[in-house]
Amino acid sequence: MTIPPPWQNLRDAIESVWPVSRYRDVGVVVGCSGGADSVALLRGLVESVRHPAAAAPPGFIVAAHFNHQFRGRESDADADFVRQLTEQLAVPLEIQCGQAAEQDEQSARNHRREFFHAVMRRHGARYLALGHSRDDNVETVLYRLMRGTGPLGMAGIAPFRPFSDDPSGSDFVIARPMLDLGRDQIREALRSIDAPWREDASNQSNAYRRNWIRNELVPAMQSQFPQAVPAIARAIQGQRQWRDALQPVIDRWLAAVQIQEKPLTLRRLDRIGREAETDPTATPLGDQAVAVEALRRCWQRSGWPLRDMGQFHWTRVFEMLAGRGPDAWTLPGAIEIRRDSWAVTLVRRDG
């Protein structure tokens, strides 16, 4: 049977980012909402892992669907669609229902994430595969930019990253192998094989900021710059390369500055020796850009909220580390920061 070119191109794009040899012998949980992106990802991975049919892989694929119940019957219809799809593909499915009353983006994301984590642990899976596209990546960067992100935030969504910096989630990996594929390209690929998907009508509502970016901001940009999305995607790739080059510098900064993780205690930069002034190979401890990105990593490891931490807050923390400004302050997320004669300590008030 001849594979239509759009579908073959999609499979080739996934293979180039995530070769089947990397997941064929381990467990993969695929988050499937029923939308085009996740349906294409599930179909593509199943076809790849089962080819050639003569060599049965020791690994497995499990689909996971979280029904938020935000849209009543429509949400239930999404779940039914995913159930029928997985039966057709002969893939096990896990479904969980959320609380329809909690409709804010952050709560929905947290509950879905907890569900995926539980499914991975239950099945002993190594990967969580998610169908984020190039458009999702661009929208994420625009969202972060307007909230005041730092350079690493401009690197967008990582194609591979640990599920969590917490030890309980560090053995699991989130894979997003479709970040180089456009949303329209994915839909064209599905049409070429007559594969249906579900459209979430709530995506048309601008009540959520990300939807406003998708429905209003990006089209307005494209009206003046038709190639805006691929252009931003190329910029993201450049930032990602810069981020990868910066990671060893951040590691050395933390090794020199962090005293302990719980409570998070950091040496005052104005109390550390001046090695960087005489040793050209030393980590620039007083470089604000490096310090801020190292602090972001501390936040992630501690499980503290990053949402409301803007560049103003990171700059204030850096100044306190450098011996300037007040000796005590409260940051978003109820993070209290205190400075003594040699160190700065950060503690979450409710933790």
- Indicate the annotated binding residues: 33-38
CA distance 80 to 260: 49
Strand partners, 67: 97
Q: What does the DSSP assignment read for 162-202?
A: ES-SSTTTTT-EEE-TTTTS-HHHHHHHHHHTT------GG
Task: Decide: helix, strand or coil at residue 339.
Answer: strand
Q: Which two tokens stand for residue 205?
A: 């509502």
Nearest to 91 by CA among 137, 50, 134: 50
Listed in sequence order, the residues at least 6 apart from 208 whose beta carbon sits closer than 8 Å to its beta carbon are: 105
Q: Which residues are annotated as a binding site for ATP?
A: 33-38
Strands (E) across 134-188 are located at 160-162, 173-175
- Can the peptide bond before residue 263 be classed as cis, meaning omega within 30 degrees of 0? yes
Measured in whole angstroms, how far is the alpha carbon of residue 279 from the centre of its chain? 37
CA distance 192 to 33: 21
Rg (CA), the chain: 23
